[in-house]
């Protein structure tokens, strides 16, 4: 087995610190505690899955770190377009499914990948999936991510925002999964990117938690909760059909429970669920089916 590089270990250390910092912030706003589940991967490496279930604010939240290595499966090398016999991958990923329908779901991940051919790159991103649309939330989320990118020469918010809009698109529905954020991959200036990822480790919480605080006490009823569960169905569809991270994990013998922890705990697939014209629910659909908006100039 090929040795892991110094950069790999530095990236893993960074991601473990980000995991600890984020969990502390999420526990502070929820009041609940994340369970710990350490696991080993057959063939090399493992991870630490941390999940909060049935919290006061988050119905389900997960912040996971993994660091795996081993022979590169053929499907993986074909998917990535690299010739390699061995790979190492480490990263931190998170998903936050709120209890209140007026709080958006938030997803983010930061990752580092290397092979025995000497190739290495960083990837990651963060995106917001609201159930009800609020201008204030959208502008705050994008502005915070943009400012983090601007603090680093390697950051490219506008390009990564466009990539995110293109990636989180459900072609079979003709709509976006949410209101986007940033998404980047195969960034080969790894030292600069790891510095930026360190900054993003804080920014993804700064971008989201004020939104949570703004809506966590908002009153809602059965109709709003039903809509939330219907929209979660779109989240499930994307993750199971299109998401590259899900495919990567399954193709590299990742731990299935940790890969699918991103799925929401409650979801509905009602037939032909269409909101009433002019309703707040329809306002969200109008945003998701329109050309991507410009949040930061």
Are the CB atoms for 129 and 288 separated by under 8 Å? no
Domain boundaries, the chain: 6-288
- The single residue of 97, 107, 140, 229 carrying the catalytic annotation is 107
pLDDT, position 297: 81
The dihedral through the CA atoms of 265, 286, 172, 252 has a sign that is negative
What pLDDT is attached to residue 269? Answer: 96
Report the pLDDT value the prediction gives residue 71, as an integer from 0 to 100. Answer: 85
Q: Are strands 86-98 and 169-170 parallel, antiparallel or unpaired?
A: unpaired
In the residue annotation, 107 being an active-site residue is answered as: yes
User: What pLDDT was estimated at residue 80?
Assistant: 63
In our burial notation (b when 16+ CB lie closer than 10 A, e otherwise), range 18-48 reads bbeebbeebbebbebebeebeeebeebbbbb
pLDDT in tens, the chain (297 residues): 568 999 999 999 999 999 999 999 999 999 999 999 999 988 889 999 999 999 999 999 999 999 999 887 766 666 666 677 888 999 999 999 999 999 999 999 999 999 888 889 999 999 999 999 999 999 999 999 999 999 999 999 999 999 999 999 999 999 999 999 999 999 999 999 999 999 999 999 999 999 999 999 999 999 999 999 999 999 999 999 998 878 777 776 678 888 899 999 999 999 999 999 999 999 999 999 999 999 998
- At the fourth CATH level, the homologous superfamily of domain 6-288 is Coproporphyrinogen III oxidase, aerobic (3.40.1500.10)
What's residue 233's pLDDT?
96
- Alpha carbon distance 145, 152 (integer Å): 12
CA distances from residue 290 to 86, 119, 278, 280 in whole angstroms, order as listed: 43, 38, 16, 16
268-274 long-range CB contacts below 8 Å, 24 or more apart?
Answer: 268/226, 268/229, 268/230, 268/232, 268/233, 269/230, 269/233, 270/230, 273/230
């Amino acid at each position: 087995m090929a040795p892991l590089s110094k950069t790999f270990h530095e990236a893993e250390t960074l991601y473990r610190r980000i995991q600890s910092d984020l969990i502390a912030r999420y526990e502070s706003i929820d009041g609940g505690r994340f369970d710990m589940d350490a696991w080993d991967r057959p063939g090399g490496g493992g991870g630490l899955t941390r999940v909060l279930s049935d919290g006061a604010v988050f119905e389900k939240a997960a912040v996971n770190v993994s660091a795996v290595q081993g022979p590169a499966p053929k499907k993986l090398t074909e998917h990535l377009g690299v010739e390699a016999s061995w790979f190492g991958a480490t990263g931190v990923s998170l998903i936050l499914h709120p209890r209140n329908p007026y709080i958006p779901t938030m997803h983010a991940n930061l990752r580092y990948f290397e092979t025995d051919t000497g190739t290495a790159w960083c990837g990651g991103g963060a995106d917001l999936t609201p159930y009800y649309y609020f201008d204030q939330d959208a502008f705050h989320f994008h502005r915070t991510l943009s400012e983090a990118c601007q603090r680093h020469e390697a950051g490219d918010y506008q390009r990564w925002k466009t990539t995110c809009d293109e990636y989180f698109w459900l072609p079979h529905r003709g709509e976006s999964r949410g209101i986007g954020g940033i998404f980047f991959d195969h960034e080969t200036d790894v030292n600069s990117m790891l510095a930026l990822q360190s900054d993003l480790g804080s920014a993804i919480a700064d971008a989201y938690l004020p939104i949570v605080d703004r809506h966590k006490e908002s009153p809602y009823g059965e109709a709003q909760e039903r809509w939330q569960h219907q929209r979660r169905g779109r989240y499930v569809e994307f993750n199971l059909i299109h998401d590259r991270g899900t495919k990567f994990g399954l193709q590299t013998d990742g731990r299935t429970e940790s890969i699918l922890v991103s799925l929401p705990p409650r979801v509905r697939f009602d037939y032909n669920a269409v909101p009433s014209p002019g309703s707040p629910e329809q306002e969200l659909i109008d945003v998701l089916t329109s050309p991507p908006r410009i949040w930061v100039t």
